[in-house]
Amino acid sequence: MDRLATVVHRTPIIRSETTNKLVGKHVYFKMENQQKTGAFKFRGASFKLMQLSNEKLKNGVIAASAGNHAQGVANAAAKLNAKATIFMPEKTPAAKVNATQAYGAEVVLTGESFQEAYEASMKRQMQTGAEYIHPFDDYDIMAGQGTVAIEMLQQEDRIDTIIVPIGGGGLISGIASAVKYKHPHVKVIGVQAAGASAMYKSYCHRQVTRLDKVSTIAEGIAVKKPGERTLPLIRRYVDDIVTVSDEEIAAATVYMLERNKTLLEGAGAAALAALFAHNSKIKSDHCGIVVSGGNMDISTLPMIQQLASKHHHSA
């Protein structure tokens, strides 16, 4: 972990009196949107790559991602002089493709969705023997992401609850494992988008839920099925999971932009959306919010504003 601390930013925690008054709690935002590559994913990728032998690094690494994992792996690989190949869906926004290439990775655009890109990347892995870097279903990736919470509790030791967005579950597995090991009294609450709630459903019911389709503005957490390794850890260590609507996510995005001059992507706004939506049920005096990323495609802002205003009319 100490080696990791020399590579990743120790991102700031910000406070907002306006938010505190609104919810009647002390709220602490962990600003992983200010992490290198604009999201927490750089932590897990760096930690994973640091565990690889020089021989494995020479052989290169491979991943599939439509977003933050791509940039995290590309940058982590560049730091260790390893060749990275990233498979991305054909419709990935140019800005994300360019950012990934700018870190020196080779980008292969293929397939309609993440699933197709993932399958193509697995094929390539079998041909080349490069090390596969999974976005969430890997214990080293989870351990790296868990450093978010370790830092939070060092920066503000009064935190009694941490709210965390969930896609495949890599971030919350790492956070919950780290928190319950060191600070068992701290509650960990997960958040999913209502239109992509496979983990929420799998957590609430005994069987694993796999969705045929996901639909949410928070593309960073639009995952169809829980990780095989993350789900058991989440069932064991996470205290509760809630869902939020796209309107609620959009309203939280606009709120942060207006009040705190901070750009969040959909997934990054989910934890704040959950605090606003479920505030009365969240028993906490000092509540930590994981702002997981800020890589928002600016062209989607008008649509987000529209959704947010819908929320305000209905609220």
Query: Active-site positions?
Result: 41, 292
Q: Return d(Cα 146, Cα 8) in angstroms, integer.
A: 13
Please list the residues that pair with 15 across neighbouring strands.
28
